[in-house]
Amino acid sequence: MAKEVNVTCVGCPLACTVKLSIDENDEVIEVAGNRCKQGKEYAIEEYKNPVRVLTATVLTEGSEQPLLPVRTDTPLPRARLQEGMSQLAGVKVKPPVKSHDVIISNFLDTGANIVATTDLLSR
């Protein structure tokens, strides 16, 4: 039996509600509500393979800043975000670190890197 899924497009401030009709094989058979082609592509991808940039903080050692804000440099599959947060909970970073420095490369074997979003200075 077909089902309907609504996806809010984030491609521009209009934030169109894109309605997807999904068949019993989990295939998208109809798309409506998008005002442009980008919205159609975004909604299908968001349904089939949702991804998010992971943002978090990690502990530091040897700095007056107790935490360093970090993020992935490319989006991760949404299903792996919790695993990523758990991994980062055990990470400690020492200064000096510059904004955009890679803290962990190939994070969770996804090809994404964890990068600093600010500098981390020594005491």
Q: How far apart are the first and last CA of the chain?
A: 62
Residues 21-60 that bind ligand SF4 (CB under 6 A): 34-36, 38-39
Work out which of 11, 69, 75, 77 binds ligand SF4, going by CB under 6 A. Answer: 11
Work out which of 14, 53, 89, 121 binds ligand SF4, going by CB under 6 A. Answer: 14
**Could you count the other beta carbons within 10 Å of the beta carbon of residue 118?**
14
What number of chain residues touch ligand SF4 (CB under 6 A)? 11
3-state helix vs strand vs coil in the chain, percent to 5? 20, 35, 45
Question: Site residues (CB under 6 A) for ligand SF4?
Answer: 9, 11-12, 14-16, 34-36, 38-39
